[in-house]
Amino acid sequence: MTAMNEWWKRPLRVIQTNLQVRDTDRIDPERLAAQIGEMGGNVLVFNVGGIYAWYRSDVPFHHVNEYLPRDRDLLGETIEACRRRSIRFIARFDFSKAKDEVYQKRPQWFVRRDGGEPETIGVRRPGNWSLLMSTCINGAYRGEAVAIPVLNEVLERYDIDGVFFNNPGFRACDCDGCRRKYAALYGKPLPPSSAPELY
């Protein structure tokens, strides 16, 4: 690789959109790319997968954004609009949470607090929002069942310049998988998740 291709070593103005699914059909890729350019941006970080797929994913349990237009490829159009303006495209993924419908089918993939209760996000949030559940860092959602196939699918379908993982850390978890893994590694029971978390 030559220095010419190492674009990440040059000065960057990175713009990250953190989009709501409800606004999906309002996104105009050409206008968005033009606005990024007007702000002096040369890199766009854009939602692609994880909690919601912003393209027509074929990976089971990867929830496709229900507001995604059916007659076009919004993600592909956004990447192309950026390309025409020499704006690099970074695919944003967040596998830290999933919709509660995934939890109902695969509860073993999710964080359990002391007493076995799942960690639910959005219960106290007003409005008609999805309930999201925290996924276990040792569970298959963040690995072989969803995250890895999603990354492979995106890399095969789209010409992206990089990957950004939002919230890649962990939540203290007391699920069976975490308890087994901890006992195998340390030869003693997993401490209660109410204990102080180490970061």
Q: What is the DSSP string of 50-93?
A: ESSBSS---STT-PBPTTS-SSS-HHHHHHHHHHHTT-EEEEEE
DSSP 127: S
67-101 tens-digit pLDDT: 999 999 999 999 999 999 999 999 999 999 999 99
- What pTM does this model have? 0.88
* Distance from C-alpha of 153 to C-alpha of 171, rounded to nearest angstrom: 27
- The DSSP symbol for 55 reads S
Q: Where are the beta strands (DSSP E) in the chain?
A: 14-16, 43-50, 88-94, 97-99, 120-121, 132-134, 162-165
Query: According to the model, what pLDDT value does residue 4 have?
Result: 52
97-149: pLDDT as tens digits: 999 999 999 999 999 987 788 888 876 666 666 789 999 999 999 999 999 99
Measured torsion, CA atoms of residues 11, 82, 27, 14, in degrees rounded to the nearest 10: -10
Looking at residue 110, its amino acid is F
pLDDT of the residue at 121 = 82
